[in-house]
Amino acid sequence: IYELHRVKSVPGVSIRVHADTAASIFAASLPFEIDNMRFQGKKAIVTGAGKGLGRDLVKVLRAEGAEVAAVSRTETDLQSLAKEVPGISTCCVDLSDVKALQECVQSIGCVDFLVN
């Protein structure tokens, strides 16, 4: 099970995605259990947003009202995601490049939670 926790710890607040279905997830049918989670007006960073689960999470979080910063190391993936999901911000960076990562995070500003 993959878990998403808010940066500010709130007891009992998480999103769980069953690993056996993660490879075939589509944005319209994500198997989430959302308990007491409110995304409207919240800001999230999603790493690995170019493909797969990360990409689908960007779509869901944005649809639920979150301001989303999508992070990926592949610019073309981010460009196509930005076309699919209007209103997101993108940052193309390899997370192993500490200096570039710091610049990316500074450009995004304060966030409520991170999906990594």
Predicted confidence (pLDDT) per residue in 49-98, tens digit: 999 999 999 999 999 899 999 999 999 999 999 999 999 999 999 999 99
Mean pLDDT over the full length of the chain: 78
Name the E strands within the chain. 2-4, 15-17, 33-34, 43-47, 67-72, 89-92, 113-115
Give start and end residues of each alpha helix (H) in 64-114: 75-84, 98-108
* pLDDT for the residue 15: 47
Given pLDDT bands bounded at 50, 70 and 90, which one contains residue 40? confident
- The Cα 13–Cα 10 span in angstroms is 6
Q: Which two tokens stand for residue 75?
A: 């610019």
Structure pTM?
A: 0.69
